[in-house]
Amino acid sequence: MNRQAEREDLLQLLLRTSPQVYLEIMSKYVLCPVCKKCPNGPTVRCTEGHNLCFVCRAKYAKCPSCGTDFVGPRKLDEIKNALPEKHPCTNKTRGCDMTLPKFLIKDHEETCPHKPVRCPLKEVPGMYCKWQGLLQNLKDHVKDKHHTLLVEQQFVRFSTESNVNIVISNYGDEVFIFYRKRRNGKYCGVVQRVGLSRRLYTCQVIFKSPDGISTIVFTFVIPTMRRSLVSLLKSGGCFKLNESVLRNFYWENGVEALVNINDDVGKHVS
Ligand SMILES: [Zn+2]
Ligand SMILES: [Zn+2]
Ligand SMILES: [Zn+2]
Ligand SMILES: [Zn+2]
């Protein structure tokens, strides 16, 4: 690899570190302390390890930071060695060969294609699907075994007759389940996502009366499956409608509503 390519490579690595690490390494090894620039050329270093860019080097006989001699150009290996230590992904034995600094590996592991997962319908009454596998195979499992429940769009029109649907996002990077049930005289519904991506998804559940007069809209951030169906139904992580209110929204084939899944572009779960 030539020096230019090596520099590019190193910069890519640096950009993936945390802002603190990035700034620390840039100011220590790359930035010139005199002109505050990082010119596209070699940086020299003094015996104490201070920087000076090749433009400013012409103006100084000794290091302006400490007065010692210059010993030569900054070596890229020095910068590489200063990068945080890398760790393998916990799913290494399952086939993942990703290695990243500690603060990045956690994010990766959350959506690692080799992460072991269970079917999103594992908790759904009447289904209790026992499938377990790798995250990368989950969509195929859903398409294969639960295709009758699958709605391949962001809008789900549902009636009170069925109780569960699966949606795969337009980007194909997430799988949602939309589950509803009658509970203590209320009609409750939960939208969950498997957590295949770190994208932030919200949803609107829209009830419209046949006469067009009444509309009820529930809006919420879609939780991942780390929160169980039961806990979401018990807490506020779902929509709830009293049966008496629900009556206004009966169409010919039962209640009809629209579930609109949105991705908040650019936003990620922190
Ligand atoms: Zn300079
Ligand atoms: Zn110095
Ligand atoms: Zn991994
Ligand atoms: Zn399943």
Q: What is the CATH number of the domain that holds 184?
A: 2.60.210.10
Pair (259, 154) in one structural domain: yes
Could you say which DSSP state residue 47 is in?
Answer: T
**129 CA distance to ligand 4 middle (Å):** 5
Assigned token pair, 35? 């002109």
Is 120 within a domain? Answer: no
Residue 232 predicted with pLDDT over 90:
no
Pair (158, 261) in one structural domain: yes
% of the chain residues with pLDDT over 90: 23
Do the beta carbons of residue 236 and residue 221 sit within 8 Å?
no
Domain count, the chain: 3
How high is the pLDDT of residue 153? Answer: 64
Pair (91, 78) in one structural domain: no
**Smallest-distance ligand from the CA of 115:** 3
**142 CA distance to ligand 4 middle (Å):** 6
Pair (108, 40) in one structural domain: no
Assigned token pair, 149? 């429940």
Least confident of 20-24, 68-72, 155-159, 200-204: 155-159
**68 CA distance to ligand 2 middle (Å):** 6
**Smallest-distance ligand from the CA of 34:** 1
**Smallest-distance ligand from the CA of 135:** 3
Q: Given pLDDT bands bounded at 50, 70 and 90, which one contains residue 160?
A: low
Residue 159 predicted with pLDDT over 70:
no
Pair (62, 104) in one structural domain: no
**83 CA distance to ligand 2 middle (Å):** 22
Residue with tokens 């709605």: 151
Mean pLDDT of the chain: 84
Residue 201 burial (CB count, 10 A):
22
Is residue 45 classed as helix, strand or coil in its secondary structure?
strand
Is 128 within a domain? Answer: no
**258 CA distance to ligand 3 middle (Å):** 36
Is 232 within a domain? Answer: yes
Pair (58, 107) in one structural domain: no
CATH number of the domain where residue 7 is located: 3.30.40
Pair (103, 207) in one structural domain: no
Assigned token pair, 159? 């009636």
**245 CA distance to ligand 2 middle (Å):** 76
Pair (153, 237) in one structural domain: yes
For residues 50-63, average pLDDT: 90
Pair (177, 255) in one structural domain: yes
**103 CA distance to ligand 3 middle (Å):** 14
**51 CA distance to ligand 2 middle (Å):** 7
For residues 34-41, average pLDDT: 80
Is 252 within a domain? Answer: yes
Taking every pair of C-alpha atoms in the chain, what is the biggest distance, in angstroms?
A: 89
Pair (90, 165) in one structural domain: no
CA dist., res. 261 & res. 191, Å (int): 9
For residues 235-245, average pLDDT: 83
**Smallest-distance ligand from the CA of 35:** 1
Do the beta carbons of residue 192 and residue 261 sit within 8 Å?
no
Is 138 within a domain? Answer: no
For residues 189-205, average pLDDT: 88
The whole domain housing 101 covers 85-112
Say which residue, 51 or 6, is predicted with more confidence: 51
Is 255 within a domain? Answer: yes
How high is the pLDDT of residue 90? Answer: 95
**58 CA distance to ligand 1 middle (Å):** 10
Pick the most confident of 20-29, 37-46, 130-139, 254-263: 130-139
Residue 145 predicted with pLDDT over 90:
yes
